Amino acid sequence: MDFDSAILKEVGGFGRYQKIRVALFGFPCLVAALHAFLQVFSAGQSDHWCQSWQSEDCGTLNFTQVQCENLKKNISIPVTVSEDNQKSFEQCEKLNLTGIDFETAVGIVGENVSISWETIPCEDGWVHDRSIFPSTIVIDFQLVCDRSYLPNVAQSIYFTGQMMGMIVFGLASDIFGRRKSILLGYLCGSVLGIATSFSLNFWMYVILRFLTSAFLAGIGLNCFVLVNELVAPSKRVLSGNVMWIFYAVGYGVLAGSAKLIPNWRILQLVVSLPYIPLLILTFFFIPESPRWLVNQGRTNDAEKVMRKIAKVNDKVVREDFTLKNCIKDEIQDSSSLKGTFLDVVRSWIILLTMMNLSFNLIVQAFVYIGLSLSTSSLGIDPYISFVIIGAIEIPAYLSCVFVAECFGRKRATFGTLVLSGICCLATTVVPLGMPRAVVAIMGKFFITISYSVIVTWAVELIPTSLRSSGLSLLSMAAGFGAILSPVVLILGNTWTSLPVLLFGVMSIIAGVLCLLFPETKGKSLPSTVRETEGFYRECCLRSQRRRSTKN
């Protein structure tokens, strides 16, 4: 089905209708970033120490509350001295002053008492430094010391929820439609997100975040598919990158919101509310994907949508224009428009394509998350550093439009993956400090471009009958890479350069393997498995002609 040249050309391939839709679906991407990185602030790490004499207010000493807390800390918490003579208080132990009242302890505890006094765990809880993060799940649920790994567990479970959501919503979208999947995601995502702000304990928080991420993943997947299925081939990269730019802007919005709203429960509530107006807008103003309707044999419904698009785009449609005339050959053989997940296994070309795309996206997410985590500690205000991490993605997405359209999908992905790999490898020899930070940030710049291009490329390689379910599998692969990356960073405790060496080598390997894909720049989106296979046959024929010409 030549949907792009025969139909989109008639109603407008990138008119007012498509632009409004791209902008409208950019907002879910922005809100998705708020949820994905919310825990950077809701689980922000701060200094803490053991609680002692909780009811004591230093009334007899005429001290302020701050002075009183500092005094308790100084006489009950052991102090360690580093090689550069920097003093720090122990976070998980205190002096064993059992049975000694506060006034007595003030009189008998000397400056170096920690050398001779026994230490015990924090049996009465902890006091937290709230100067940077006044309210966090770490404080509320006491996720410190032997529970300090739990925030990372929560984030890994959140990514797992994303993977599950991609699988379920990808399959549901191909069966029930893109629009219904988005509406369900908005409804359940907002309700679960709001409920998370009322979590009574850590595991309630984790479960609600897991479920929220699953529904939000379904929203992002189907918004991306809906946009790409209704724009001209030359505008797919631009449309996709506008949505990614919204995602990058989410970094700054989250940092600003977290600065203004220091209470993690209120912040969680605020970032969940925007899905309610988005639900209303989608319900009244966003129709189903015409491509999906055609694949379901609902040609009349699809034609109504296309005529609406033409009206919004100020296009005059021919009187004899009907979808049935444009796709009559496919309607006569409707089985060619429908596909099942078994087609991935039946066609060895589709199977190898999915395997290669999956590996590529594992590496992309693996490197992207790894570099993001590695460059997040810049020695400045955490809110500002978070904005910088997100800001570098905006020029990357803008560059992606130019790179992908000028050089094509294949050369753009290959080049940026290799350049990212080189930057990762260079960090092992560049001196610590600003030089190494600049090289690492450049590595993230290139991996961001390559990730954006490969996602658009995947949409152009997977046929309509398998597009949502195929993209759900690829998103699961990317999720696996995201989960794997923090684990690999732990290897840096054994050998500092090992993580970035892995990032660099894997990035270069993925870049070489992407050369096996056919170029899809300017081509119509494939509707069937047979059309995708045609891309590879065309690629092989071109290679044979080039070899014949050289000979």
Per-residue pLDDT of the chain (551 residues; tens, 9 = 90+): 456 656 777 777 788 888 888 888 889 989 988 998 888 888 877 777 788 777 776 766 767 777 777 777 777 777 776 666 667 777 787 777 776 777 667 766 554 444 467 777 777 778 877 777 888 888 888 888 878 778 878 887 888 888 888 778 877 887 888 889 999 999 999 999 999 999 999 999 999 999 999 999 888 888 888 887 888 777 877 787 788 889 888 888 988 898 899 899 999 999 999 999 999 998 888 888 888 888 787 878 888 888 888 888 888 776 666 666 665 544 444 444 455 555 555 667 778 888 889 999 999 988 888 777 665 554 556 677 777 777 888 888 888 778 887 888 888 999 999 999 999 898 888 877 677 778 888 888 999 889 888 888 888 888 876 776 777 778 778 888 888 877 777 676 677 778 889 989 999 999 999 888 888 887 777 777 777 777 777 766 666 666 566 55
34 and 254 Cβ atoms separated by less than 8 Å: yes
* Of 328, 306, 325, 326, residue with least CA distance to 317: 306
The overall longest dimension of the chain from CA atoms, in Å, is: 99
Pair of tokens at residue 400: 């992606």
389 and 368 Cβ atoms separated by less than 8 Å: no
Torsion angle of alpha carbons 201, 155, 477, 466, nearest 10°? 50
- How is residue 134 annotated by DSSP? S
- How is residue 235 annotated by DSSP? G
Contacts of 506 (CB under 8 A, 6+ apart): 363, 366, 367, 421
* Of 232, 229, 228, 253, residue with least CA distance to 242: 228
Rg (CA), the chain: 28
> Helix, strand, or coil here: 499?
helix
DSSP secondary structure letters along 480-494: HHHHHHHHHHHGGGT
Q: State how far the Cα of 240 lies from the Cα of 250, in Å rounded to an integer.
A: 16
Phi, psi angles (nearest 5°) of residue 520? -120, 5
Predicted local confidence at residue 114, as pLDDT: 46
Q: How far is CA 5 from CA 228, 322, 370, 408, in A?
A: 15, 14, 41, 20
Contacts of 207 (CB under 8 A, 6+ apart): none
Torsion angle of alpha carbons 263, 186, 241, 536, nearest 10°? 140
Q: State how far the Cα of 543 lies from the Cα of 217, in Å rounded to an integer.
A: 39
CA angle 415, 421, 424 (to 5 degrees): 145
Kindly report the pTM of this predicted structure: 0.74
Predicted local confidence at residue 266, as pLDDT: 93
Predicted local confidence at residue 331, as pLDDT: 45
> Helix, strand, or coil here: 117?
coil
Q: How far is CA 174 from CA 295, 298, 338, 341, in A?
A: 9, 14, 10, 10
